[in-house]
Amino acid sequence: MEEFLDEALCTAVGVAVLSSQAFEKMFVLAARHAIKQAGALTIEDIVPVNAKKAFKQPVTALLKEISGTVEINGLEERLLSYIEDRHIVVHRLVEKDWSGEEGREAIKEICLRVTSESIHLHKIFTIMFGEWLHRFPNLRSVIDEYEVFRMYEVGKSAP
């Protein structure tokens, strides 16, 4: 039981899960709006997203829906790799060897990859979603109030 009480390991798992959830919310928003509704010219053209359904769809299924679009080209392999690592952390971590320092370090490494990639992908899709939102003049003042889009401006680093 002591291997489960490794504070650094538990922290790594928790941060990986939280960063994954944040990324996946942004991915859904960007995919459902900026990618699937790229041609919307007015707010009236936007098809609302049913949050109860949209956020329950697996990321892999949504990725298949948008596969081949200009916005996603070059990111598909990266997203698939991230999804596989995320599945290990969220769904198959109990199948990993937690005994010994080597086993725990391997788990931490997967968690660090998931966390890092979640943050980088979050940045990409936040910028994509923010740029799409800025096309609607009525929304610009509201959007500009949120720091989340400003922190990803050119020349600034991601969190």
Is residue 54 in a domain? Answer: yes
Interatomic CA distance for residues 112 and 153, integer angstroms: 25
Q: Using CB atoms within 10 A of its CB, is residue 25 exposed (0-12), middle (13-18) or buried (19+)?
A: middle
Minimal CA–CA distance to 22: which of 55, 46, 53? 55
Is residue 157 in a domain? Answer: no
What single-letter amino acid sits at 83?
I
Residues 19-54 have pLDDT tens digits of: 999 999 999 999 999 999 999 988 899 999 888 888
Is residue 44 in a domain? Answer: yes
**What pLDDT score does 38 carry?**
92
User: pTM for this one?
Assistant: 0.84
Phi, psi of 16 (to 5 degrees): -65, -45
Is residue 158 in a domain? Answer: no
Domain span including residue 86: 2-150
Domain count for the chain, please give it. 1
Interatomic CA distance for residues 156 and 151, integer angstroms: 6
**What pLDDT score does 2 carry?**
54
Helix, strand, coil % in the chain, rounded to nearest 5 = 70, 0, 30
What single-letter amino acid sits at 145?
E
**What pLDDT score does 143 carry?**
74
Low-confidence ranges of the chain (pLDDT < 70): 1-5, 146-159
**What pLDDT score does 70 carry?**
80
Is residue 74 in a domain? Answer: yes
Is residue 159 in a domain? Answer: no
**What pLDDT score does 1 carry?**
46
